Amino acid sequence: MIRYIFITGGVVSSLGKGIASAALGTLLQARGYGVRLRKLDPYLNVDPGTMSPRQHGEVFVTDDGAETDLDLGHYERFTGVSARKSDNITTGQIYREILERERRGDYLGATIQVIPHVTDAIKEFVLSDPGEGVDFVLCEIGGTVGDIEGLPFFEAIRQLGQELGPERAVFIHLTLLPYIPAAGEMKTKPTQHSVKELRSIGIQPDVLLCRCDRPIPETEKKKIASFCNVRPSSVIEASDVGHIYDVPATYHAEGLDTEVLEHFRIGDAPEPDLSKWNDIAQTIHNPDGTVCIGLVGKYTDVPDAYKSVMEALAHGGLANKVKVDIRLVDSEQFDDGTTPLEVLEGVHGIILPGGFGERGAHGKIRAAQFARKRRIPCFGICYGMQLSVVEAARSLAGIEGASSAEFGPTDNPLVGLMEQWTKGNEKQVRTANTDKGGTMRLGAYPAILQADSLVARIYGTTEISERHRHRYEVNVGYREDLEKAGVIFSGMSPDGKLPEIFELADHPWFIGVQYHPELKSRPFEPHPLFSSFIEAAKVQSRLV
């Protein structure tokens, strides 16, 4: 029997519903249960693929090619369960599907309404097959209670609560308990009003997860329980912690997973095995040293835009027992070609993350040149790889005007749209085509590695599969010219037409990859490229 846990939020956004959902999933998993986590996003966009990183943060991509919410990255990193297309739904997807059904006549002339058609589609998504061995499905509802766009989702889970019954459905509500310094008091009224709003639409929360920056007095817990119609043990303190990987153990200590199981009337669950989380906490809080990594991108004012990259760097630190200090560097400040790169002085490694568009690109090219000349470990990801190849073409191969077709027409397009390549190894591409539809390469694709290459040694194999998200590719027609200049294309698509990985032969550690390895990195299984990159940075820092 599959049980369902619905996680909602109130008072303010950014309380950490995604982390809370992932942590609870981890605790249930540590007790021996199978879990799957899903995200219901009320916004009207079909997916976050076209949304600005400044508004939405990064786009997390699944193996099966879905562009999803960044919370799915938290789910994967905490539980190790790979997400799928069927784990993220938006209002845009729901309405698109309903309108397509209506146009086909599937509703036989019925008037299409929010209830029952929209709510039924949401319930269908929630109840869709979670896969083998799943005992609990955790569904996080985006936004906060009271948001107008979220009402159909709240109504859908209200109906599911009635249909499934208390033995199969539990509601957790995440709220805020602010502390007012001037009054010297922790205020419970925002939580009371949030629960009142939730109850007004027919949902009685079973568990309250209360975010706070200090312990909740027992008197306040009893007050919250009384006003919100829950038992005192169901008021769970969710205090701020030093690191997100401290959250599972902290929530267990506060009794979150125990309370959830009691609501499901499961009294014989084994105690969770949190030994691996304790080991990670030990490494995080007692590292052997610190390495500094310069992350050069154009969305550095919004760290969530590079959430998976930053987490993967931390995982590489765990593998090497060091703390990774990430220095966020705005690449646009170097676009003018003259501003000194002084901010990169003293870093032990440089990472060039993915992106789109010309803005900030020239700054990344300069950062790649800085890393190459200074022999600093450098890791180019997706767009970062493409721009590193452009830099190598200009500086090492002497290809004048080497550029990307993404910037406009060029005589030497080192990078272009996949649909632009002509037959054979000709170098010219059609740079006038601005249609970006249907050219995105999304999801997992295989690559073949050169047997004697650095990446083959890092991976320990010559066949890999990694997740992609891009529409431009490095032009294989320039391979011979670049390899003569010391560039090694150590990873290629199985048909040999698409460069996947490049290395610089005369450099301690300079690797560019067309895919996004950060999406598959987890604290217990750091991605080998990130582990190796941080190891190289550790050598650069003279910690070894």
pLDDT at 436 over 70: no
pLDDT at 460: 97
List beta partners, residue 204.
Answer: none
Catalytic residue among 382, 466, 468, 527: 382
Q: Is 382 a catalytic residue?
A: yes
Q: Which of 500, 516, 527, 535 is catalytic?
A: 516
- pLDDT for 423 beyond 50: no
Q: Say yes or no: 366 and 238 in one domain.
A: no
Residues 508 and 533 in one domain: yes
Residues 109 and 44 in one domain: yes
Q: What's the rounded Cα separation, in Å, for the pair 92 and 200?
A: 26
Q: What are phi and psi of 291, to 5 degrees?
A: -115, 145
Owner of token pair 């369960």: 81
pLDDT average, residue stretch 57-78:
94
| Percent of the chain scoring above 90 in pLDDT | 84
Residue 246 and residue 299 in one domain: no
518 is an active site residue = yes
Q: Which residues contact 365 (CB under 8 A, 6 or more apart)?
A: 387, 388, 390, 391
What does the mean pLDDT of the chain come to?
Answer: 92
The residue among 251, 280, 309 that closes a domain is 280
Task: Please report, for the domain that includes residue 444, its CATH number.
Answer: 3.40.50.880
d(CA 143, CA 10): 8
What value does the mean pLDDT take over residues 337-360?
91
Is residue 236 within 8 A of residue 205, CB to CB? The reply is no
Q: What is the pLDDT of residues 382-422, one digit of tens each?
A: 999 999 999 999 999 999 889 999 898 888 999 998 654 44
Region 126-154 average pLDDT = 95
Question: Residue 391 belongs to what H/E stretch?
Answer: helix 383-395
Q: What is the domain range of residue 233?
A: 3-280
Question: Any idea what the CATH number is for the domain that residue 26 is in?
Answer: 3.40.50.300
The answer on 446 and 496 residing in a single domain is yes
Interval 531-541: pLDDT, tens: 999 999 999 99
At 515 the pLDDT is: 97
DSSP 116: I
Would you say 531 and 320 are in contact if contact means Cβ atoms under 8 Å apart? yes
Residues 531 and 420 in one domain: yes
Same-domain status, 13 and 147: yes
Instruction: For the full predicted model, state whether its pTM sits above 0.85.
Output: yes
Residue 347 sits in the same domain as residue 481? yes
What is the pLDDT at residue 429?
37
Number of domains in the chain: 2
Percentage, residues of the chain above pLDDT 70: 96
- 439, pLDDT greater than 70: no
Output the pLDDT for position 427: 42
Q: What is the pLDDT of residue 435?
A: 41
Q: How many CB atoms lie within 10 A of CB 484?
A: 10
My answer on whether 298 and 263 are in the same domain is: no
Residues 259 and 240 in one domain: yes
What residue ranges in 365-498 does DSSP mark as E strands?
378-381, 402-404, 412-417, 441-449, 463-470, 472-474, 487-492
Cα angle 162, 151, 17; round to 5: 85
Q: Check the CA dihedral 72-75-77-81 and report its sign.
A: negative
Q: Which of 252, 518, 527, 535 is catalytic?
A: 518
CA distance 161 to 122: 13
Domain shared by 163 and 302, yes or no: no
Question: Residue 416 phi/psi, 5° resolution?
Answer: -160, 175
- Give residue 214's pLDDT band: very low, low, confident or very high (50, 70, 90): very high
